Amino acid sequence: MSSGVVLEGTTVFSESGRPCRLDYRVDCDPWFRTVSARVLGWLGAVSIELEITAAPERMWTLNGRPCPKVQGCEDLDLSFTPATNVLPIRRHRLAIGARASVRAAWLDFPNVALAPLEQVYERVAESRYRYESAGGFKAMLETNGAGLVTHYPGLWQCE
């Protein structure tokens, strides 16, 4: 348990034609760095239960197994929700026109693996961020006053 920020939510979606529901909780330190996360739910008839931890020296585990590929990452990026984009947005507090490079521990779902993902956030307006990730993916994120993504083109729209 952290003494900082908690990010909690639920996602319901279809994955490869199968219904999926995932409840998540991400505990962070006061600087919006991930400390631990828990993901519970189901994909079709299969139960999902994931425990992710990041030690202070940024060593990560997934269900108790070390994940050396993501050593040094500050953020957890859950592939099934844009909610975790708030962590680097809040931590960096970018001025309009400024940009920050981030290396996140990306939870690839449904493969259930952590992989490093290089990301760039550029604040282009009060509530807009240009987002880029390794491999050439780009999107213009719309956020609310708390930095939570409210529109992620092609993937997410807050209702």
The DSSP-derived string for 85-98 is GHHHHHHH-PPTT-
CA angle in degrees (0–180, nearest 5) for 34-35-41? 85
Answer whether residue 47 is part of any domain. Answer: yes
Residue 10 lies in a domain: yes
User: What global pTM score does this model have?
Assistant: 0.92
1: pLDDT strictly greater than 70: no
Task: Provide the residue range defining the domain that includes 16.
Answer: 6-157
Q: How many domains does the chain have?
A: 1
pLDDT digits (tens, 9 = 90+) for 40-74: 999 999 999 999 999 999 999 999 999 999 999 99
Residue 1 lies in a domain: no
